Amino acid sequence: MSMENIAGARKPAKREDEHTVAGEHRMMRGADREVTDPERIAAIIAACDIVEVAYADAEGLTIVPLNFGFDYEYDEATGKLTLWFHSAPRGRKLDAIRAAAGGRLPVAFTMQTDCEVVAGRTTCNWGETFKSIVGNGTASLVEDLDECRHGLQTLMAQQAHMPNVEFTDAQVRSVTVWKIESDYFTTKVRAKPEPSSKPAHMHQHPAVPRAGVIGAR
């Protein structure tokens, strides 16, 4: 993932000339909401509890919400995101991975946090604040025992805030560990509006985007 935007650099509010090209990633239209600072990205991922993973198998398209752990390694030029999961040894997800060419299943994923509805003066002025990750990658089963143990440790760190849990070999072998290695992802934030003389009322709601007049992302 490119880290080309330096924190504080001036960006256009919108990129209106983007369009879909086969084999390429189009840039985010809302450039003013794009986050490329790796520390901010890591903090947003760490604040999420659930990732929704979409894939296609012999039955068709499907999507499933999952608990996860993660590794995010980055330097000045690139960033590598790996999401970790565990499950029972059988099920639709694992069948799809095993059936994929080379045991590598193309997937898409999204996660979000800090979602709040912002009331407007009229119904068409309502919006929503959020922090979100959207990306794609490849899912595969993990066979190496030490790699499985690491994946389980990231899960405990993310979900239970227990970063140094030890697992015996028997415990590791009792579950199936799999991972998603991200090929590309973007991070987007819509911040709360600045307070006005008549502040809008805000209320919390579940972190699931809703269709309709509520602010488009």
Is 118 among the domain residues?
yes
- CATH code at 142? 2.30.110.10
Q: What is the pTM of this model?
A: 0.78
The CA distance from 209 to 39, in Å, is 25
Q: How many CB atoms lie within 10 A of CB 169?
A: 11
Query: Is residue 185 in some structural domain?
Result: yes
Q: How many domains does the chain have?
A: 1
- Residue 98 belongs to a domain: yes
Q: Is residue 149 part of a domain?
A: yes
The answer to whether residue 25 is domain-embedded is no
Tens place of pLDDT per residue across the chain (217 aa): 444 443 444 556 777 676 777 776 766 666 777 898 999 999 999 999 999 999 999 999 999 999 999 999 987 667 899 999 999 999 999 999 999 999 999 999 999 998 888 888 887 878 777 899 999 999 999 999 999 999 999 999 999 999 889 999 999 999 999 999 999 999 988 787 776 655 445 444 444 443 333 344 4
Question: Which of these, 100, 102, 105, lies nearest to 85 by C-alpha position?
Answer: 105
| Amino acid present at 87 | S
Contact between 43 and 32 under an 8 Å Cβ cutoff? The reply is no
Q: Could you tell me whether strands 176-190 and 34-35 are parallel, antiparallel, or unpaired per DSSP bridges?
A: antiparallel
Domain assignment present for 23 = no
78 within some domain: yes
Other C-beta atoms lying within 10 Å of the C-beta of residue 51: 22
Listed in order, strand segments (DSSP E) in the chain are: 34-35, 50-57, 60-67, 69-74, 79-87, 105-118, 127-141, 176-190, 202-204
User: DSSP class of residue 148?
Assistant: H
Q: Say if 10 falls within a structural domain.
A: no
Structural domain harbouring 73 = 31-192
Nearest to 110 by CA among 154, 157, 65: 65
